[in-house]
Amino acid sequence: MKTAIALALALLLIPQGAYAVILKCGAPSGSVIKSEELPSYAASNGNYVPLTHNTVDIVVPPGASRCVRLILQAYLYCHAACSVRAKADNLEMNPLARPTDVIQGYLFASNHFEWFAKLPAGPHTLLLEVSADSGNSNPARITIKDWVMDVQY
């Protein structure tokens, strides 16, 4: 009963227009970890571009499904309003990126992001994309270095 009341209260605290996504998952059966220092990326005014060398391919066994959790720890330097999103098979993972989900700052700062999705049996490709918006016609930059991407499935 206490759990139901706590969940109801938590749902009441979610901002209007937002929604909660809840997946019931078992323990992860595999993990892929990648790390690299990357150069700057230019993204013109809100267009998302993939990060180089961050694609991870996984296979979910026949007759099964897997909850996939993608964790990114990275130092980011943003020259404008920047955003990061994760995709599984070209579909955006939860939580979905919104125009208000931005990183702004002119010093390298350590950032932690997490996304998740439930994937059916078969091969899947996961990747990260970044966007930078300068607010004018000039391309903005986002610099990402010393990143670690952990995919648990």
What's the token pair of residue 137?
């016609």
Whether the model clears a pTM of 0.85, i.e. scores above it, the answer is no
Q: Which residues pair with 110 in a beta bridge?
A: 75
CA distance 94 to 44: 24
Q: Worst-scoring range by mean pLDDT, 13-27, 54-68, 86-100?
A: 13-27
Nearest to 130 by CA among 88, 84, 81, 70: 84
> CB-side exposure of 151: number of CA atoms within 13 Å?
23
CB 56 within 8 A of CB 149: yes
Q: Worst-scoring range by mean pLDDT, 10-24, 88-102, 112-126?
A: 10-24
Mean pLDDT of the chain: 79
One-letter amino acid of 80:
A
Q: Report the b/e string of 55-66 with b at 16+ CB within 10 A.
A: ebebebeeeeeb
Inform me whether the pLDDT recorded for 85 exceeds 70: yes
pLDDT at 81: 76
Rounded percentage of the chain residues whose pLDDT exceeds 70? 75
